[in-house]
Amino acid sequence: MVAYKPVIACNSGGPMETVKNGVTGYLCEATPEDFSSAVGKFPREF
C-alpha cells in the first residue's frame, strides 16, 4: 500500500484492520485457490 499498489493478504489479524477489501487490496482465506482468484482480479500492468 505504501507503493500505491493493491495488496493481497490473509483474512485474519492485522491485515483486516488495514486492508479495505476490494478497495486497497483483497483479503483472502489462506488457500491457494483464494490467492490465485485475487491475483486474477488485477490488471496486467500490476
* pLDDT for the residue 45: 63
DSSP per position, 3-44: TS--EEEESSSTHHHH--BTTTEEEE-SSHHHHHHHHTTS-T
**What's the average pLDDT block by block, 10 residues per block, for the chain (46 residues)?**
84 92 92 93 71
* pLDDT for the residue 29: 95
* pLDDT for the residue 46: 54
* pLDDT for the residue 20: 92
